[in-house]
Amino acid sequence: MSESPISSSSSSPKKRTISENNPEDSAALSSSSQRVPSKASSNILVLNYDCLERIFSLLSLEDQLNFSRSNHEIERIYTNYAHWKYKHIPEYITKSLEESDLEYLVEQVNEHLISYESPLDPSSKDEEHLRLLGMHCPMLHRLKMTFMRDRWEDLNQLKNLNTLHALLQFSSNDVYEKFFFNLSENLPCMRKLVLKAPGYNGKGLHVLEKLQHLEINKKTELDAKYLTECCFKMENLNFLKIGTFTRNLNNENFSTIVAHCRNLETLGFTDKKHLDNAAYERVCELPRLKHLIIFFPRRRPGFIKGLVRRTDTPLESLILFGSNLCKEQVGHVCDIPSLRELWVGSEDDDFSVEGFMKLKSLEYLHLQIPYITNNHLVELLLGCPRLRVLNMFYCPNITSDLISLLNSSLKKLKETNHEKISIYLEDSGVDWKENCSSFKIDNIHIINGYLKSPILIKKEFNIP
């Protein structure tokens, strides 16, 4: 029997609606992962493209792939579906699919694949799929992968790659140097690098002169002199985040950053060992700085005053991990009216939320302040009209009485803020009965737990 052509034109058979609640449809869908006999294949092909697309959407990915293999015409239609459905293949797919299924999926998406993510794990074998990506995916823009081999011919085929998120496990610093030289020579579009490289000291990284976004994560043993080289060469950097211990970091390094990285919008130093001997106050001089993340172990009033006095681009995020500010310093921070996100800590028992009322643009507030009370919390909600997230660490004075206080203030709160508000409480005095992990009061969602990382930077730079 010849197979019927598929068409969405007026001459197509009448469209049939597929329903998950229909027992007949459910039975048909549950068995679709089995190989479809030729007669059944011919019958199902009388459905138009919209109906078949609906069937695909109701199946698991594994069943979709098996269904696609059952018939050449179904495979053709599935290929069109996969072009838009799986142009981004995330890590949960590469982790869960059998190797043969993953290869088949990549072949179906083909040149439409834009991003591919695999686990950053030394035991991952996904590097073997580079050959497949090089053959079928010339338009790939973003790649997340573990690299252990010192041969990169397949990687070099991805000429349109602009973002690489990599775990590198090489035998020596010489191999790391060769890897980055290879990237600079063969991948001309590379603009973003997120790097995890245990044992690597940073030598040779500076050859990636066109980078605009550089993140170096934990376990990399970065030497500050190589960071200086990067700052000399990468004058187009707008995002620099160093999340690992940097040996010999000093005043000169920060002077180099300020002198040469004039386009920086985001700067982060998040390891607590970083800044003991460096006058990092100079970062306040960066003219385009919008987001600053820094581990703040010492009380340096000059640093905060420098941020307040900035007259260039308004500062939108100030993330002070590990900070323990006095009341006066908290007040200075609150003199930065442009802030949309603030992460700050204080153990000053003479605490007041009055200063935060000046932050009318504040959307995300993270507080490590143990003396905050129920009344303080409600005052914050009333005084910060754009607040979306309040993330609080160790707040034993927040108790179950908060619920009645919020209920009695609900009318004022709704007049002040019409949006949904999420409140995270870690180590609070709230009685979370019957293993309750959250509760809602109108548009306010209160959650037993905390957020570990900032929000605004992730949203603006699409950081997972």
Q: What percent of the chain has pLDDT over 90?
A: 56
Pair (81, 104) in one structural domain? no
Q: How far apart are CA 241 and CA 453, in angstroms?
A: 14
Pair (46, 121) in one structural domain? no
Q: Are 6 and 50 in contact (CB under 8 A)?
A: no
Of 9-13, 171-175, 401-405, where does mean pLDDT reach its minimum? Answer: 9-13
Q: How far apart are CA 13 and CA 458, in angstroms?
A: 47
Pair (159, 79) in one structural domain? no
Pair (166, 184) in one structural domain? yes
pLDDT at 218 over 80: no
Q: Can you give the C-alpha Rg of the chain in angstroms?
A: 27
What is the overall mean pLDDT for the chain?
85
Q: How far apart are CA 417 and CA 91, in angstroms?
A: 37
The sign of the dihedral angle between the CA atoms of 444, 447, 450, 456 is: negative
User: Smallest Cα–Cα separation from 161: which of 178, 179, 144, 180?
Assistant: 144
Q: How far apart are CA 239 and CA 419, in angstroms?
A: 30
- Examine residue 222 and state whether it is found in any structural domain, yes or no: no
Q: Which pTM was predicted?
A: 0.84
Pair (93, 177) in one structural domain? yes
Q: How far apart are CA 44 and CA 153, in angstroms?
A: 43
- Examine residue 28 and state whether it is found in any structural domain, yes or no: yes
Per the structure block, which two tokens stand in for 410?
A: 């609900």
- Examine residue 111 and state whether it is found in any structural domain, yes or no: yes
- Examine residue 399 and state whether it is found in any structural domain, yes or no: no
Pair (109, 149) in one structural domain? yes
Of 9-13, 39-43, 280-284, 375-379, where does mean pLDDT reach its minimum? Answer: 9-13
Distance of CA 366 to the CA centre of its chain: 18
Pair (73, 93) in one structural domain? no
- Examine residue 160 and state whether it is found in any structural domain, yes or no: yes
Domain boundary pick from 170, 190, 210: 190
- Examine residue 276 and state whether it is found in any structural domain, yes or no: no
pLDDT at 10 over 60: no
Three-state DSSP class for 194?
strand
Give mean pLDDT, residues 193-216: 94
Beta-bridge partners for 196 = 167
Of 298-302, 362-366, 369-373, where does mean pLDDT reach its minimum? Answer: 298-302
Residue 185 CB contacts under 8 Å (≥ 6 apart), including other chains:
none
Domain boundary pick from 190, 205, 238: 190
With 0-12 / 13-18 / 19 or more C-beta atoms within 10 angstroms meaning exposed / middle / buried, residue 350 is exposed
Pair (39, 129) in one structural domain? no
Per-residue pLDDT reduced to its tens digit, 234-265: 989 999 998 877 777 777 888 888 889 999 99
- Examine residue 132 and state whether it is found in any structural domain, yes or no: yes
Using CA atoms, how far residue 316 sits from 163, 338, 341, 422, in Å, is: 25, 6, 6, 20
Pair (104, 164) in one structural domain? yes
Pair (101, 149) in one structural domain? yes
The total number of structural domains in the chain stands at: 2
What is the 8-class DSSP label of residue 3?
A: P
Pair (77, 109) in one structural domain? no
Pair (80, 117) in one structural domain? no
The sign of the dihedral angle between the CA atoms of 371, 376, 378, 383 is: negative
Q: Please, where are the H alpha helices in 45-120?
A: 49-58, 61-69, 72-85, 91-96, 99-109
The one-letter code for the residue type at 463 is I
Per-residue pLDDT reduced to its tens digit, 57-89: 999 999 999 999 988 989 999 999 999 999 999
- Examine residue 312 and state whether it is found in any structural domain, yes or no: no
Per-residue pLDDT reduced to its tens digit, 123-164: 888 898 999 999 999 999 999 999 999 889 999 999 999 999
Domain boundary pick from 158, 190, 222: 190
Range of 68's domain? Answer: 23-85
**Confidence band, pLDDT 50/70/90 cuts, at residue 296:** confident
